């Protein structure tokens, strides 16, 4: 029995780790929509439940059990009803018709028990929101459903012994699974934070130059799929060097941080904003042609001109910006950044506080 339990826990651990790698590296980054991802998760966890049926552990001389309830609980946690329903269907059908044939034991222990586990999971485990109390409640009721199935399908004293041993082992496996899920979630969150920090400018919190290059390529790829134009808008603070020279670099940092906030307020959530370097910013304005950008850029110019910038010394400055734009696909992707930069240069050479279009 000990060897069988080790095999079950090893299989459980391996699947959770490898499954999490596949999910985060490939499934979440795939072109599948959310419903498609949930369907894939359901099939994967259904297969996981089938595998567990072959890694049984002996409870008594005549009774064997496995961890097939756990994939159902996991599927509901990760993918809600869609994933849970598919996993339950696969597990119950395989148990009733393919493992040992149709019998009273396969119907109670496979089909009905799996459906009860699904219903319990849907009632207690919210999609991607999980507490230990909710998980323990779902696990306990799932074990109880199996205990009832044992009671009606087993005879004599073996049913009591099987119920006690099974409940203890599956409870241990369920708590272990919860700990693994929590560990993997926290590890994933930490990794996402580190990746996000690597793509953010430390001062303004906007995307940095490296992230901007990735976002640009993604936007170009998106255009080839959906034919939605976008415009690159480059922005530079006029006479910013004088701010640093006159009031110090702390004042310059305060100006950059406040301008970043103003940019976030001016543009829509779908527009990507980055600090390209120094006092220069770049915005990828989504679903924007060369006509729309004129009004959008002018609104930004006016907002900056009207904004009071508060310095650490308590002084208030009024600043202006110059901007240049280039629209894709009107301008080839190899020339897009260069043409926006040229338009910005022309705006500054023409007296600043202006917006020019390539």
Contact 176, 135 (CB under 8 A): no
Contacts of 228 (CB under 8 A, 6+ apart): 222, 286, 287
Residues 35, 282: Cα–Cα separation, whole Å: 34
CB neighbourhood size of 157 (10 A): 9
Of 173, 82, 200, 184, nearest to 130 (Cα)?
184
* Structure token pair of residue 252: 């310059």
* CA angle, residues 95, 98, 99, in degrees to nearest 5: 60
Residues 241, 320: Cα–Cα separation, whole Å: 13
Given the residues 3, 279, 280, 307, the one annotated as active site: 279
Contact 284, 333 (CB under 8 A): no
Of 251, 260, 248, nearest to 316 (Cα)?
251
Contact 41, 78 (CB under 8 A): yes
Contacts of 35 (CB under 8 A, 6+ apart): 82
In the residue annotation, 155 being an active-site residue is answered as no
Instruction: Please give the positions annotated as active site.
Output: 279
């Amino acid at each position: 029995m000990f060897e069988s339990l080790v095999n079950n826990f090893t299989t459980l651990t391996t699947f959770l780790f490898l499954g999490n790698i596949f999910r985060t590296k490939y499934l979440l980054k795939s072109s599948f929509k959310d419903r498609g991802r949930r369907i894939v998760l359901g099939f994967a966890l259904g297969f996981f439940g089938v595998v567990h049926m072959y890694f049984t552990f002996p409870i008594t001389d005549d009774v064997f059990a496995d961890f097939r309830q756990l994939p159902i609980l996991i599927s509901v946690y990760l993918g809600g009803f869609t994933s849970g329903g598919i996993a339950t269907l696969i597990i119950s059908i395989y148990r009733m018709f393919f493992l040992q044939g149709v019998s009273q034991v396969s119907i109670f222990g496979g089909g009905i028990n799996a459906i009860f586990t699904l219903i319990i999971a849907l009632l207690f485990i919210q999609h991607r929101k999980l507490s230990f109390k909710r998980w323990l409640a779902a696990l306990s009721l799932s074990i109880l459903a199996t205990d009832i199935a044992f009671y009606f399908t087993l005879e004599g004293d073996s049913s009591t012994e099987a119920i006690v041993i099974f409940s203890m082992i599956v409870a241990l496996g369920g708590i272990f699974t919860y700990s693994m899920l929590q560990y993997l979630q926290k590890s994933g969150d930490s990794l996402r934070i580190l990746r996000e920090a690597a793509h953010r400018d430390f001062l303004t919190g906007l995307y940095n130059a490296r992230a901007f290059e990735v976002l640009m390529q993604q936007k170009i790829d998106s255009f080839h799929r959906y034919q939605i134009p976008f415009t690159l808008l480059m922005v530079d603070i006029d006479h910013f060097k004088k701010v640093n020279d006159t009031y110090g670099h702390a004042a310059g940092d305060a100006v950059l941080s406040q301008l970043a906030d103003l940019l976030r307020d001016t543009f829509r959530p779908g527009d990507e904003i980055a600090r390209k370097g120094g006092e220069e910013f770049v915005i990828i304005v989504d679903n924007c042609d060369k006509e729309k950008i004129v009004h959008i850029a002018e609104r930004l110019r006016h907002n900056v001109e009207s904004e009071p910038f508060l310095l650490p010394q308590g002084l208030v400055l009024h600043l202006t910006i110059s901007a240049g734009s280039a629209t894709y696909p009107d301008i080839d992707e190899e020339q897009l950044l260069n043409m926006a930069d040229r338009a910005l240069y022309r705006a500054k050479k023409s007296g600043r506080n202006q917006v020019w279009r390539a």
